Structures are given as C-alpha cells and as structure tokens.
Amino acid sequence: MIPRYSRPEMSALWEPESKYSIWLEIETLAAEAMENLGQIPAGTSAAIRSKAKFEVARIDAIEAEVKHDVIAFLTNIAEHVGEPARFLHLGMTSSDVLDTCLNVQLVRATDILMSGLEQLLAALERRAFEHKLTPTIGRSHGIHAEPTTFGVKLATFHAEFQRAKARLQMAREDIATCALSGAVGTFANIDPRIEAHVSAELGLTPEPVSTQVIPRDRHAMYFATLGVIASSIERLAVEVRHLQRTDVLEAEEFFSEGQKGSSAMPHKRNPILTENLTGLARLVRMAVMPAMENVALWHERDISHSSVERGIGPDTTIHLDFALHRMAGVIENLLIYPDRQLGNLNQLGGLHNSQRVLLALVEAGCSREDAYRLVQRNAMKTWAGEGAFLDHLRGDKDVCDKLSSDHLSGLFDLDYHFKRVDHIFTRVFGRSDA
Amino acid sequence: MIPRYSRPEMSALWEPESKYSIWLEIETLAAEAMENLGQIPAGTSAAIRSKAKFEVARIDAIEAEVKHDVIAFLTNIAEHVGEPARFLHLGMTSSDVLDTCLNVQLVRATDILMSGLEQLLAALERRAFEHKLTPTIGRSHGIHAEPTTFGVKLATFHAEFQRAKARLQMAREDIATCALSGAVGTFANIDPRIEAHVSAELGLTPEPVSTQVIPRDRHAMYFATLGVIASSIERLAVEVRHLQRTDVLEAEEFFSEGQKGSSAMPHKRNPILTENLTGLARLVRMAVMPAMENVALWHERDISHSSVERGIGPDTTIHLDFALHRMAGVIENLLIYPDRQLGNLNQLGGLHNSQRVLLALVEAGCSREDAYRLVQRNAMKTWAGEGAFLDHLRGDKDVCDKLSSDHLSGLFDLDYHFKRVDHIFTRVFGRSDA
Amino acid sequence: MIPRYSRPEMSALWEPESKYSIWLEIETLAAEAMENLGQIPAGTSAAIRSKAKFEVARIDAIEAEVKHDVIAFLTNIAEHVGEPARFLHLGMTSSDVLDTCLNVQLVRATDILMSGLEQLLAALERRAFEHKLTPTIGRSHGIHAEPTTFGVKLATFHAEFQRAKARLQMAREDIATCALSGAVGTFANIDPRIEAHVSAELGLTPEPVSTQVIPRDRHAMYFATLGVIASSIERLAVEVRHLQRTDVLEAEEFFSEGQKGSSAMPHKRNPILTENLTGLARLVRMAVMPAMENVALWHERDISHSSVERGIGPDTTIHLDFALHRMAGVIENLLIYPDRQLGNLNQLGGLHNSQRVLLALVEAGCSREDAYRLVQRNAMKTWAGEGAFLDHLRGDKDVCDKLSSDHLSGLFDLDYHFKRVDHIFTRVFGRSDA
Amino acid sequence: MIPRYSRPEMSALWEPESKYSIWLEIETLAAEAMENLGQIPAGTSAAIRSKAKFEVARIDAIEAEVKHDVIAFLTNIAEHVGEPARFLHLGMTSSDVLDTCLNVQLVRATDILMSGLEQLLAALERRAFEHKLTPTIGRSHGIHAEPTTFGVKLATFHAEFQRAKARLQMAREDIATCALSGAVGTFANIDPRIEAHVSAELGLTPEPVSTQVIPRDRHAMYFATLGVIASSIERLAVEVRHLQRTDVLEAEEFFSEGQKGSSAMPHKRNPILTENLTGLARLVRMAVMPAMENVALWHERDISHSSVERGIGPDTTIHLDFALHRMAGVIENLLIYPDRQLGNLNQLGGLHNSQRVLLALVEAGCSREDAYRLVQRNAMKTWAGEGAFLDHLRGDKDVCDKLSSDHLSGLFDLDYHFKRVDHIFTRVFGRSDA
C-alpha cells in the first residue's frame, strides 16, 4: 500500500484493529450460536461481549512465540475474558475465522468502492449533460473521423462505469460468504447452524462446501473484476491525457493556483492526475494473475495464498478506491474547451463529411466503388492542405453531375450528426434532458 | 491455436468460413431492416439472400490489394450479387460488422463451453455420489488433517464448477451485444432501428452506446472469466496429480491398454492428462492481461485490440473447450482406490482424531492451553512412529484423569466425521441420495 | 500462431518436419558418440544416416495408438532403418531429445530474431542521421517542452534496440544448452561424453545438471526477454501513432496507392501498422507469465510446461519476428514532415524557451523563486493565446531590469538546443557523421 | 510492502530519508561538477556539503502546496543552505534527480539481493555435499522413476541459483545508469561533463541517450529478472513442500519448540515457510507485467510509470530479499530423513531398475519393442503389489533366455546409479569433495 494513494476510510479497514475486531465479532457470534444450541453455558457470549478486549502489540508478542496468529489472538482475549474464553473457537479451525474475516473486509471494501463508483458516475453524468451538444471531432486511429459531441464521449464512459458497478455487485456476491466448517470442512466438530447464525448476523451467505478454506476461485473472480474496472479507469485517463496534449487541448485537468508543473518549464500544465491514474490501473491489474494462481491450493488447503492476499487484499482495494475518487475529481473539475473542440473539428476543411457525400453519391446512382473514388480524389486535395473539401467537390464535374451545389452544402450541416444524441442519452441515462 | 488441443466443433467456429458467414448474415439483416424502413428498394435483401456467396481465397486476394478486409469481403459479395450489392453496408462502418461478428462468435463459443462445463459437472456429480462415503484423509499443507470422504472432495469441485457456470453465463451476457452505429457511434448515417432489428435476429442486445467499436471492457471481463474457470480446472488437475503420486496413489487417470508411460521406464503410469491440463490452464489464463490492456483504446477507437483478439479469441476458447472435455473424461474414467485411501488415512496411527480429543478434554474441564499440551505430547510420540495415538492417550495419567478409556475409544470412531456429509451434499447437489 | 502475423522463415522452424529433423539429428549424433565409445556396433550411425526417414502422418498414426511421441517417432524411423535402429535412444529418455530439440529451435529462432533486430537498427540509424538536425518539439506529459531533433528521437530507439540485441544475445546463451542425461539426470545409463559430443556438434553447451528436463528457469528468462523487447516495440509503435494523429501529423506510415483507410471515410490514413504492432507487443508479452509458472515443475519433472511451450514457443517467436520486420519497414518507409514539425514547435509562441529565460534570470542575480515567478507570469499570457512570449518578456519591466532586449532575443535561438546532438549521436552510434 | 515480509536492511533503503539523501548527493555532486567547470562560484559545493539538511515533514508540507516533490525538496534545502542554494539544480530537470536516485536505490537493493543469493547458495552447497550420496528416488510426473541422490537434487537448485546470480548481475548493469541531460535529454542547459562526474562518483554509467527520463526498458528487464528468480524460489519451495507431505516425509522444515502447527490439530507440522515462499514468489512476479507496461511512455516521457514504481520498486525488492533469506534459512535448517528416503525408494519393489533391465535385454539381442514388452509385463505385476520385480523377472522364461539370474541381480545394484555423481558435482560446484 502506497500511503499517497490511499484514503483513510479504506485503509482503516485493513488495519490490524479492524481485523481483530472482526475476528472477535466472528468468535463471539459463534459462541452466541453455541449457547443457543445449548453447547456451552448460558451467559458465555454476554460475558465475552462485556469483557473482551485485545491489544495489537500484545498479540504480536504472543505470535512471535507461538507462530500462530489465531492462537495468539485467542490467548490475548483470554487474558481479558478469563474462564469463559475456553468456550471460544470450539470445533473451529483458524481459517474459519481468517477466511470469514477476509470476506467481511472485502465486502466492506466493496461498499466503499461502490460509493466511489457512484461519485464518478455522478460526475460523468453531470458533465455529459452539460456538454450534450458540444460538437467535437470523433477520432478513430487518432485520425479525425466524424463529428460527435463531448457529451456522447462522456456517455460512453458513463455506460462503461455502470457496467463496472454491475460487475462489482456480482463480485461482492461472489465473496460475501462465510465458512465455519472445521478442519477439513466436514462440520465434524461444529454444527452447521453455527455457521448459519454467524453468516446471517454478518450479512453473508454460508459457503456451500468449504475445505478448511473458502475456495479461492471466489477471490480470483473478485480481483479479476477489480482489474477490469481499473482498465476502464485507464481508458478514461488515456482519453483525458489525449485531450490535454498541447496539440489537441480540448480539455485540461484543473490546475490549482500554487501548483508548479515543472521545475524547469514554468508554463507547463501537465495531465499528471490522469497519468498517475494510468499507472494506478497497472498496479490494480497486477493482482489478477496472483489471485488466479491462488486458486489451485493443494488438497484441502495450503497457505500459499495467504502472503499474496496480505499484499493484494489491502493494496488493490486501497489503490482502486483512491483511483475512483481521484478520477471523480478529475471529471468533476475538468476544464472543457468547446471553442478549441470546434476549431479542431474544422481543422480538416470539412473532410469529416466525406462519408455523407459518399452516401449521397450512392443514393444518386453511383456504384459504391465509383462514389468512393470521387470522394477520395477530392478529399485528398483538402488533406494536402489545398482548400476546403466542399469547394473541391463543387469544382468536380463528375460530382456535380450527381449532386447539385445546394445539395452538397446541405451535406456539410453539423447538426446532422447530432440528431440521435437524445436517443443515445436516453439509452445511457434513461433520459435525454438534464 | 494448437491443433492437438482443439475440438472440431469449437475450432470450426473460428474458421474464415464461419466469420464470413456471420458477416453476410449481419449485412443481409441490416439490408432487410433498411428495406423495412423503406430506405432501399424492396426485394434487395431477398436478392442478396438468394445470390450472395463468397470465396475465402478471393477475399484474401482482394484484401492483399486494398488492405481492408471488409471492403474485400463486400467486393467479393458484389461479384456474385451484382447491382443490389450497392445497398449493402450503407451508413455502416467496418466495425459494425467486425465487432458484432466477434460477439456472435464469442456467444456461440460460450454455448459450447457451457456444454463442456455441464459434462464436467455431470461427471463430478456421478463420481461424488459413487464415493459419497468413501473415507479419505483430508490434507492441509500436504499434511494429514482429519477424515473426509472422497465424495465431499469431489463435491467441492462440483460447487466450484457450478460457480464457473454462473460466471460464464454472466460473461455471455456481457459480450452478447450488437452495434450498428456508424463511424463514431452517433447513428448519423444509420437508423438505430436497423441495429435493433439485427440485434433481435441474432439474439443479441443493442450496445447502449458504442464509439465505432463495442467497448472492450466487455471482452476483458469475458476473458478474465475464462481465466478464472481455467484456474478452477488447474485446482482439479493438481488434485488428481497429487492423488496419483506413487507415494499417495489414491486415484489414477485411466490408462488404456496400448499406452506407454515412458520411453525408458515401462512401469510408469503418469498423470499426463492432468499435467497437461495444468499447462492448458496457464495458456487460457495468459489471455487475461492483454484483454485488459485492450480496454484503453484511443478516443473513439484504435485497432490495437485486433491482433490480440485474432490470437486470444480462438485460442482461449478452443483451449478451454478442450480442457473442459479432457477434464470431464478424466473424472468420468478416474480410477479411484478406496482401499488405498483408507490405508493412507490410518497411516498416522489415529492422529487425525487429535482435535476431537482436544475438544473432549476441554469439555471435561481442561483449559484449552492444557488440553493442547496434553494432546500434543501424546501426538508427538505417534508422529515419531512410536505406536498408536489412542494407546499413548490411554497411558497418559493426566489424560485419563479427564477421560475414561471407553470415552477415548469412542473418539476414534471414523463415522463421527461423516455425519454431515448428507447435509453438505444437499447444499451442493440439492439432494443427498443418488 | 496467427498466419497473417508470421513469416515463412520463422514458421517453418516450428513445423513438425523441422522438429523431427532435429530429433533425428540428435539421435544420430548420440549414436555416433556411442559408436565412438565402442558401445554400439561400428557403422550404426552411418547406416542410420543413409537410411533414416520419417513421415509426419505415420508418426501421428503411431502416436495415436501408443500415446507417446518419441516412441512413435523411433518406431517410424525403425521402419526405414531396420536392425540398426535398435541402437538408437539407448540409455536416453524422451526429454533428452525433446528438450535439446526445443533449445535448438529456440536458438535458431533467436538467430532469425537477431537479424530482424538488425534490420530495425539499420532503418533507425539511417533515418536518424537523415534527420539528425530536423528540429522537433520534445513533449513531456504530452505537453510541449523544449526542442530536440527528430534524429535524437530516433536515436533513443536505436539505443534501446541495441540493448534489446544485447539482451537477446544473453537469452540465446541461456537456452543454448543440451541435456542427454537419462531418466533423472544421473547419467546412470548414458555416458556424459555422449552429451558432450551432441552438444558440440549442435553448437550447444552441456547443461551442468539436468533432472530429466532442462531447467525451465532458462526458458522463463528467454520469454521474459522477448517480452521486454516487445515492450520496446510498443514504445516505438506508440510514438509513431502519436506523430500520425491528425492534430500532430509530424510523420505518417507509408500509405500505398491501392490502400483504403476506411470503408466509410475515404480521406483517412490510419497508423494501422503501428496500432497492430501495439497489439502484437501484448501477444508476445503474454507468454512471460506462463513461462515463469513453468519453472516450478514437481520433483525431477512434470509435463505441465509442455502444452504451454507448444503454444508460446512458436507463437511468441513468430509474432515477435513478424513485429520486428514490420517495424523495420515502418521506420524505413516512414513519411517524415519537417515543416509540420517546425510548425508545431513554434505553435506555443516561444514558450519552449522558458527554462532558458529562467536560467538567464538566475544568472543575472534573481533567486530561483523570483525567476520562476517572472517567467511564469509572462508565459501564462502566451499560453492564453495573447501573443509571443518574447514580446511579453520585453514588455515586463522586472525582466528588463535583469536582461537586455538583445540578451532576451538570443535566448530564443533554436540552434542553442542542438549543440550537443553530435555528442549524443557519437554516444549512440559511435559517430556523428552519416 | 508487507512489514512481516521485510528486513530492515532492505526496507531502510526505500525510506524517504534514504531517497532525499541520495537526491542531496546527486545535487551536490552536480554542483561540484559545475564548480569544476567554472559555471558556478567556487566554494558552492563545499557550502552545500556543510550546511545542507532536510526534514521529511517539512518537504511534505511544502509539496502539499506546490504539488512538486523536487521543488519542495530544493525549497527545504534552501532554507538551510541560504544563498548558495540558488546554484543547485541549474539546467537540470526533476527527472535527472528522480531517475538517477531510483537507479541508485535499485543498485543498492541489488547488492543486498546478491548477498541473500549468496547465503542461499552457501546453504545449498553445504547440504548438497552433506547428502551427496544419500540415495533418494527421482520422481517424474510425481511417479517414482530412477534413483538419484539428495545431493544431486540440491545441486540442481545450486546450479539454478548460480544462474540467478549471473542474471541479477546483468540486471544490475542494466539499471546502473545515470542521466543528467535536462528537460528533453538534449543537454541544452547542462554540460554532459556534469553527468559524467555524477555518474563516476555514484558508480554508475552515463545513459547514452535519455529523453527526460532514463528509458524504462531497463527497469522492465530488471523486474523481469526478479520475476525469474522468484520462480526459481518457487521451484525450491514446491520441492520442499512435496518432500514434507505426510505421504512422503523425506524432509521437513525445521520446527521450533514453541511453534504451534494448527489451532485444531496439535500434531501438525506444516511446511508453512515454503508455502509462504510460494506466495511470495507470486507477489514478486506480479511486478513484471506493469514494469513492461511502463516502457511505452509517450514521447519524451509521461509520468504513468511513477505510481507503479512507487509500488513495485520497494515491494518487489523487499519481498524478494525476504524470500531469499527465508529460503536460505529453510535449507540451512532443513530436517533431512535419509532412512525415509531409502524406504520410499524401495517402496516399488525394485521397479526403478526397469530401464536397466530393458537396456540389458536389448544388449542381449532383443528388439527394443520386445524388451519393452518383457519388462512391462513383469513390472505390472510388481506395480499391482504382487511381489518384487526381480523375482518376477527371474520367473519369466523369456527373460531368463536372455539374462542369467546373476546378471539380473546385478542390475538391481543401487550404486550403479550414483557413479556419475562426482562428475555432476564437479560440473556444478567445481569440485566433488566437500
């Protein structure tokens, strides 16, 4: 975890205090269930709830000796609770606690990520409607293609992050399980009703069958989903970086007063937030492969997944959370330059209408091949910087044989391209008016 | 694509013939819709349906000249269809065809994968019920832990591949979209109703907003899902490999008569299918990272994703399909050795009951710490090969103070561990009887 | 392997014929060595050399029965060679042949890659000297920074591909080993002098210690190296794609006469080769992770690496080879537009000299903080489009107190930035004159 | 960075204090060089050396305002140094400091890794010689193959980590470069002799051509190399885990007195260190892909690599360092059980001699096919548990026609397999005697 790319709300979740609190919650709920089943003395869970405490440093000290974290934790709890502590963890195995705890942490992390996604979606929606009809040139292969609007551009990201939200919801379900099934998952020494109680209280679903651990295909799917979301962030980051290039400059990250762009070149305003987000996407994505390698544990379990999860559990959720909030801020405050966008759009002398002309020629009776040739020979002159496309077309006898001058002019109407923006907005946002 | 790891049903889907057939289907359906809208002459789509043909070699030849695959295809089609061909592809962009086609291929590939998954699930279910109560030692960290049954072991995989199926279903929905939205996705030159018609006929959903391409976060999610499924295959493959080790030999891949295990050591029967599956899992998984890198296309699209998809589209689905069928066969024909499983289970002189003894001691009034110490000092003797665990316990005065000899014997009852197997089976299979 | 991204020279190397020829070479050389050691009858290797043949289809048929490729191969050979064939493969294990063969293939593939690298280096060098002093704006963060030359830009790639060459040479050494050490690498049934002979004849080094297989850390290093080289190709591809953007247009991929950029927009000239190369880089890179996962084979070997290598062995070398040649062609034929480069350089009204002005102010006695402020307040006006930077500086009293108008003009001399280009060229190319 | 997987020596290197110390070193050396060239007043560097100090908290505070780390650092230094501070950083760009510093850190990290590798090599060598002739069964595919020695097994790892060392040395050279070349690498405002001086003093090589940043193919190669080394660690970890399986138990990780293997099963001694190392290998390896993605920076640089390196720079070196030391300890203290190894070796009733018998039959005139059949039919009986292989052979008339009973017995001599162990040791260690 890189402190500068973390937000306290998320990183707190991964602090030892949070982990031990969840452990205690699980152990206490399990005791409560055992009590309900008459397996341990009445009053045990109440006693635990009133007396249980832990000290991270003390747990560390015990663990240094016994080399087992759950035993260290239970020993520390027993120091505070006394006698009733011996009814804790009965029939349970360490993984019952560890794995259920990890899933609780991931579920909570997911809820935080979800709220970050919602902020980003809100920012995208607001700015999309703000620029619903701001003309901008669409580019394929980095080459000017046909006009679109800046609002439509943002709508594509809104739709993508709506998918991200749906995927995150699925991923949440995937890891929202609980297992208290004992040493090899047979419930030999623990009644399944205990698992049911703990699951219900924690808002989790009982794992249908566990081995000692909760199966790691769930976590693989979870981190893979985060990797996809990070890739969507990368796409938006790359878009902003492109737009901010000196040669394009259709939008810019907000640049605060005191900020210095370069130690050497005082005029520079760099898209450092989105460049940073591009890198953060790589950091999030790198968890995917080890999470998948974690699936094939040996027999009923081995512990090779553990060190990996100590790393990627906190790091990936923390960095993605930070990235979502940073990106929401970038979009919220993005400086958008409509004039520049229009200027760039017109830079090619009207070539972005070439397809319309081609279609009009076909409609007027040309074969597609001939129409293509006619369009291309005029387009190439404009491309070479020799004047406006419309003028060349008007001067081409073969074109004029098919299309009148007025008809040609009409083909250069910009609004023509935007007639279905409302339709697109309705598809994406469920409405076309702000 | 590696021919030896492919099945004809899946690989046919990725042949040029399949691709061009789908292209033709899309173009014809689009013409049909245009006709319905009165945009092109009545009878056009019928003419196309009756006359359209293509020749792969001819398309290749044209493409070599024009360096554009869709134009080459349309030119070849026009050679057969004549006049009405000029109404094909009107207002469409190449990606409308290419991307919709890729998704059709992926959807069909998914349906084949789904049927492979079902075969594997059926095999797992049959063998699980067959060995529902076959005692086997559960192992954590490769070390004997407590008894479980071979059926429960297989049930864990059944549950995992049920999840795989649900995930694959989600992934199918993710890529089952269609876009016919024109050069930058604005529908400037193509009515959205055409997209609606083609989508409906192909069993797809219209992409809410496309840019020229269908957004690649969909494909990233798709291949990530395949990577997770491959990882589950790896887990099962690794399990079989472990079971077949000479030192374990609790199960073996079926070994046919003519088969030779080694050019040098004729006695060898190697788990080559599951070793192979372990490698295939890596091959499938390697598509995940490039699929994620494909998401951040520049502006309204660049074509960097294309070469990647030409590779991972066929290879990943073909290899995973092959792997699912190979794995289904491995499980279907697996040689399972209950005697050997029981022999191994008893190898540790009853140590797998150590936890039961510990719990009984706690119940009898020991502190958990004391119980642990008592159990461990007797367990260590058995571990060192100095006789059965039960005998040591019976000879330990501190133990006998708490537990009678009969009580101790009862703790070594094997069936104790299986009392919830029915419960587990009901959770996983929805029933506990075969 | 994707046919359209393969060159016959490289793909031939991976055909079954090539593989079996190498197998035969290894077996025959081994027989020759055994003969020299008097272990098999004199004349055996001569008999094999004169009679041995194989038929791929026949080997396939035998393998279908015996399920063992080397046995199938030897059986087919024996069908042609007769009696002396029984002296083939004595004391050897299949992997002795398979692994040594794979390394021979990788060595030969590497030599082909090396020649591709050399072509790319030659193209970069020629174009770098051609544009050694072509002024172009350097960009950091996509923002105009200070002037450099197009030749220096290309020199950075030349230096990088020189490193690629050195790395490939190291990787070649890493996999240029031979093992003929028997079933578990003990040479129990094969004299190490046989390995020595085969190694020497094949231009390989004997593997110091093998287990049955040649250790896979070698192959992991090999594919990792190819991944790094692919990443360098990606950097160059991305550079060209940026330069070809409509908004930049400082260079373009060569565009042949018949080529069509878009089915819809006839004016488009898209950087499709370098976009394609960006994707190919991802395809090459995806081999790295499975190659690393292949290292941890179980005990003396398992065969999980084999399916992976059947995929990545051919695919990765074929695609990288294709990419190197394609990239060499892109650079060789790149259309470079010096006028446009100069135009873009001047687009910011001289702001690229801001650091020089800042340094001059510091030299004239300003604190760095004051100088920064003076520069920035004038730079920001030009940035806002309000005229040339030099004019603003000349009109700023605080600046003029420190720097005379002539001094200021001198700071805007373009050649100032190029005074060390010769020095850089000498470092990179060993000479500064073409 | 996960604290429990870090050693202070390595993690200290990545603390802010270390970084700023190196920055100060670079800036001061640069000033020294400028002074030598007469570009700044004599005595400047001495003044800096005597007065310069920094406070991490103060730098953080300034950075929070100016949002630029190098400017914040220089401002803090200036607060201590006063007037001469304005001669710091002249003509330099931030990356000159940052990138050179990163390389200094990586070089120092590499030296620490190198010493970890040496410890591991020493442990492997000691234990290899200790068990040079300890018979152990070699296993391919997890199946017993032929005998080898535990020393040879360890020798394969020694050879592999020798290669790791050579690779790490190459990787060190790859990142041991220094760049002080200004805003776009043209040395426009900084004399190359300054770079030469700083390089020499820091033990680095000047980067032949930089752009503003040191090219990231170097770092990609560096982290790829670490990934390969981690994979070798994984292979050794997996070997130990296999050996420690209850069903094998030929070796065990050292198990200290107070250690508890399981909260539930007190008898368990789990290979938790090597399982942990398996996971750490994944953590190290996951840096490879983002490091490769970092190569393709835009034009003369973008800053997307920076967040990635803030993560993988410390994490990867810290975790690999920890892993090397942990692994050295595992090997140093490994409990090795020769009796158990011999017991396992003999478990198959002599089948591991099958190849020798096959070869003897061929030598005695059998065709390879016949020999194979004869061996297999007897081997299969032993495999089925029906007595010793030698006995079956002696009872097989067809075998006895070819080989006498004494000849057969001789083929079961264990030492036969070890006659070239000295040869192998000499290849690997340069000597065969301890």
Would you write out chain B's pLDDT as a tens digit for each of its 434 residues?
A: 788 999 999 999 999 999 999 999 999 999 999 999 999 999 999 999 999 999 999 999 999 888 889 999 999 999 999 989 989 998 899 999 999 999 999 999 999 999 999 999 999 999 999 999 999 999 999 999 999 999 999 999 999 999 999 999 999 999 999 999 998 999 998 999 999 999 999 999 999 999 999 999 999 999 999 999 999 999 999 999 999 999 999 999 998 765 665 555 655 789 999 999 999 999 999 999 999 999 999 999 999 999 999 999 999 999 999 999 999 999 999 999 999 999 999 988 898 888 889 889 988 999 878 998 899 889 888 878 889 999 999 999 999 999 999 999 999 999 999 999 999 999 999 999 98
Give the H/E segment covering residue A173.
helix A150-175
Smallest CA-to-CA distance from B55 within B72, B37, B38 is with B72
Taking only the tens place, the pLDDT of each residue in C156-192 is: 999 999 999 999 999 999 999 999 999 899 999 899 9
Whether residue C262 is predicted with pLDDT greater than 80 in this model: the reply is: no
What residues in A contact B297, CB-CB < 8 Å?
235
Predicted TM-score (pTM) of this structure = 0.96
Cross-chain residue pair D143–B347, CB shorter than 8 Å: no
Angle, CA A26 vertex, CA A20 and CA A27 arms, to 5°: 90
pLDDT band at residue C434, thresholds of 50, 70 and 90? Answer: confident
* Cβ C266 vs Cβ D328: under 8 Å: no
Whether residue A266 is predicted with pLDDT greater than 60 in this model: the reply is: no
What are the structure tokens assigned to B105, written together?
A: 């291929």
Taking only the tens place, the pLDDT of each residue in A211-242 is: 999 999 999 999 999 999 999 999 999 999 99
* Closest-CA distance of chain A to residue B69, Å: 15
Q: Looking up tokens 């991307």, which residue turns up?
A: B99
Mutate to test the interface with A, among D282, D289, D295, D310 (most CBs of A within 10 A): D282
pLDDT for C259 equals 61
pLDDT for D1 equals 76
Please, what's the largest Cα pairwise distance for chain C?
A: 102
Top-confidence residue, A167 or C351: A167
Strands D177-178 vs D205-206: parallel, antiparallel or unpaired: parallel
* Cβ C292 vs Cβ D286: under 8 Å: no
Give the 3-state secondary structure of residue C116: helix
Smallest CA-to-CA distance from D404 within D394, D413, D389 is with D394
The shortest CB-CB distance from D358 to any of B266, B293, B352 is to B266
Taking only the tens place, the pLDDT of each residue in D53-65 is: 999 999 999 998 8
Smallest CA-to-CA distance from D229 within D171, D181, D182, D314 is with D171
Angle, CA B217 vertex, CA B215 and CA B223 arms, to 5°: 125
Question: Could you tell me if the ipTM is greater than 0.85?
Answer: yes
Rounded mean pLDDT, C308-325? 98
Alpha-helical (H) ranges within A14-134 are 16-36, 44-51, 56-66, 69-81, 94-130
Question: Is position A141 annotated as part of the catalytic site?
Answer: yes
Q: Chains that contact D by 3+ CB pairs under 8 Å?
A: A, B, C
Mutate to test the interface with D, among A239, A240, A278, A306 (most CBs of D within 10 A): A278
Residue D67 burial (CB count, 10 A): 16
Smallest CA-to-CA distance from B228 within A218, A301, C57, A155 is with A218
Q: Which residues contact B257 (CB under 8 A, 6 or more apart)?
A: none
What residues in C contact A138, CB-CB < 8 Å?
none
d(CA B352, CA A42): 31
d(CA C201, CA C191): 16
The shortest CB-CB distance from B266 to any of D245, D248, D376 is to D376
pLDDT for A90 equals 86
pLDDT band at residue D68, thresholds of 50, 70 and 90? Answer: confident
Q: Which residue type, as a one-letter code, is found at position A323?
A: A
Q: Chains that contact B by 3+ CB pairs under 8 Å?
A: A, C, D
Positive/negative CA dihedral, A401, A402, A404, A405: negative
* Closest-CA distance of chain C to residue A157, Å: 22
pLDDT for D267 equals 57
pLDDT band at residue A1, thresholds of 50, 70 and 90? Answer: confident
Residue A365 burial (CB count, 10 A): 11
pLDDT for D268 equals 75
Smallest CA-to-CA distance from B234 within C98, A409, D319, A298 is with A298
pLDDT for C428 equals 98
What are the structure tokens assigned to D362, written together?
A: 């061929």
Q: Give all domains of chain D, ordered by start, each with its CATH number.
A: 12-90 (1.10.275.10), 92-255+264-347+415-434 (1.20.200.10), 351-411 (1.10.40.30)
* A338 touches D at CB < 8 Å: no
Among A345-354, C230-239, D134-143, whose mean pLDDT is lowest? A345-354
Taking only the tens place, the pLDDT of each residue in B290-320 is: 999 999 999 999 999 999 999 999 999 999 9
Q: Note every long-range contact of A377-380, with CB atoms under 8 Å and residues 24 or more positions apart, other chains counting.
A: A379/A351, A379/A354, A379/C266, A379/C267, A380/C267
* Closest-CA distance of chain D to residue A2, Å: 6
Taking only the tens place, the pLDDT of each residue in D22-48 is: 999 999 999 999 999 999 999 999 999
Top-confidence residue, A140 or D356: A140
Active site residues of C: 141, 262
Cross-chain residue pair A308–D74, CB shorter than 8 Å: no
Cross-chain residue pair B307–C279, CB shorter than 8 Å: yes
Nearest CA in chain C to A250: C247
d(CA D378, CA D351): 9
d(CA A241, CA B163): 39
Q: Looking up tokens 């289809």, which residue turns up?
A: C57
pLDDT for A259 equals 61
Strands A205-206 vs A177-178: parallel, antiparallel or unpaired: parallel
d(CA A51, CA D64): 44
Alpha-helical (H) ranges within D257-413 are 272-285, 288-293, 304-333, 338-346, 354-363, 368-383, 389-394, 397-400, 405-410
Mutate to test the interface with B, among C283, C301, C315 (most CBs of B within 10 A): C283
Taking only the tens place, the pLDDT of each residue in A316-344 is: 999 999 999 999 999 999 999 999 999 99
Give the 3-state secondary structure of residue D251: strand
Smallest CA-to-CA distance from B331 within B201, B220, B239, B206 is with B239
Give the H/E segment covering residue B44.
helix B44-51
pLDDT for A236 equals 98
d(CA C198, CA C206): 9
d(CA B5, CA A116): 43
Give the 3-state secondary structure of residue D267: coil
Taking only the tens place, the pLDDT of each residue in B311-347 is: 999 999 999 999 999 999 999 999 999 999 999 999 8
Cross-chain residue pair C220–D237, CB shorter than 8 Å: no
Residue C36 burial (CB count, 10 A): 14
C411-424 in b/e form (b: 16+ CB < 10 A) is bbeeebbbebbeeb
Give the H/E segment covering residue A148.
strand A143-149
What residues in A contact C372, CB-CB < 8 Å?
260, 266
Q: Looking up tokens 């050494």, which residue turns up?
A: C173
d(CA D270, CA D331): 16
d(CA D343, CA B242): 20
Give the 3-state secondary structure of residue A430: coil
Whether residue C267 is predicted with pLDDT greater than 70 in this model: the reply is: no
pLDDT for B257 equals 60
Strands B205-206 vs B177-178: parallel, antiparallel or unpaired: parallel
Taking only the tens place, the pLDDT of each residue in A16-49 is: 999 999 999 999 999 999 999 999 999 999 999 9
pLDDT for C307 equals 97
* Cβ A328 vs Cβ A123: under 8 Å: yes
Smallest CA-to-CA distance from B61 within B53, B51, B71 is with B71
d(CA B198, CA B203): 8
Whether residue D257 is predicted with pLDDT greater than 70 in this model: the reply is: no
* A7 touches C at CB < 8 Å: no
d(CA C63, CA B260): 10
